[in-house]
Homo-oligomer: A and B are copies of this chain.
Amino acid sequence: MVSGSTRYSEYLQLDGLLNLQKPLSAQAGQAAHEEMLFIVVHQTHELWFKQVHHELDSVLSIFSKKGKVDERDMGSALMRMNRMVEIFRLLIGHLRVLQTMAPLDFLEFRDFLVPASGFQSVQFRLLELKLGVLTKEKMCPMSTYMSVLNSPESAQVNAQADNPSLHHWVCKWLERAPFLDSKGFDFWTEYRKAVRGRLEDDRVALEESLSFSEEVKKRQLLEWTKNEEHFEALFDEGKHEKLRREGDRSLSLRATQAALFIHLYRDQPLLQLPYQFLNQLVELDEAIQNWRSEHANMVHRMIGVKVGTGGSMGYPYLKSTLSRTRVFGDLCNLSTFLIPRTHLPKLPSDFARNLSFFVDALGH
């Protein structure tokens, strides 16, 4: 509690920090009131991106540990994932503040910004690489992007492109799941049986239904078939890998099985934190997605359909990237394959024991 000599303004380096806002309009003798907001919104974004890297690096180091993930680290991993989610939600709020700027007022300094563009944020690009949204393969068509970076920046980007992403490590972690290989319980066989039973029940009920007209029945059967196809791709490694190559799946089949198992038996003590972690991955994916979507809307409102300052295609471009930028979409799509608890294969008690605590100590 004692004896420090830390001063608030020195600790936070305020002398430096509060002197880094250099409006170009003022330098050109045409001071535009609104440029300050533009700068502050972008600088705070970059500070938060730094924080996101700080958290993401720590999650990566937990999940890339040689051999195993330490159970005692799961709590920290969850808290840090959650923090990244909250940060992206906060950043959405930043865009709302930026929207208090009228498009006409933006025009008063917009010309000075050419050809700078948020598109050039190195921290954001590195984030995409670390998460696995962006990969080395996808970077080829980005040569235009790379050309605007200076050499230390592009070195950083290239170096990161060689490192495995969070998506990679999560996939590995899921694939190692020991409960898939248990002797006492063959989850995959049992699950497949349960699915087939349920599909068959549905089909019979549908065909025998009196309350549907022939036309409605026909349509519903078509949908039933589509549903069955989803499952078939899940039961056939060849089909799954084909979908993966085409970009429709990203996790391996085994990782998908483990994720499904965790969802279906999440109440088992051992699975509760992994279940929370899978959810956090989806939450983060979605939060970043929402930020992108709001950002695209904001650009639309600010410049209409004009091209961006960096020569990018502005709003239409941003809108078009939205669908390509989910990295944990497979975890979201898992819902397609869930079956109701009543149809779920029951875990043998020996097997369930392995998913419990050493002593039954909590249930005191």
Contact = CB atoms under 8 A, between A and B. Distances in A.
A273 B270 contact: no
A338 B8 contact: no
A338 B107 CA distance: 8
Interface in A211-246: 211-212, 216, 219-220, 223-224, 226-227, 230
Contacts of A114: 1-4, 6
18 contacts: A1-B223, A4-B114, A5-B211, A7-B116, A8-B116, A12-B42, A12-B43, A71-B360, A74-B269, A76-B267, A102-B266, A107-B338, A177-B364, A178-B359, A270-B361, A289-B297, A304-B338, A306-B336
Interface of A: 1-9, 11-14, 16-18, 20-22, 24, 30, 33, 36-37, 39-40, 42-44, 46-48, 50-51, 54, 58, 68-76, 79, 82-83, 86-87, 89-90, 93-94, 96-97, 100, 102-104, 107-108, 111-123, 148, 150, 153, 173, 176-179, 202, 205-206, 209, 211-212, 216, 219-220, 223-224, 226-227, 230, 263-264, 266-270, 272-275, 282, 286, 289-290, 293-294, 297, 300-307, 310-311, 332-342, 353-364
Count identical subunits in the complex. Answer: 4
B1 A111 contact: yes
Question: Which secondary structure characterizes the binding site on chain A?
Answer: helix
Contacts of A51: 36-37, 40
Contact of A17 (B14, B46, B209, B358): B46
Contacts of A220: 1-2, 311
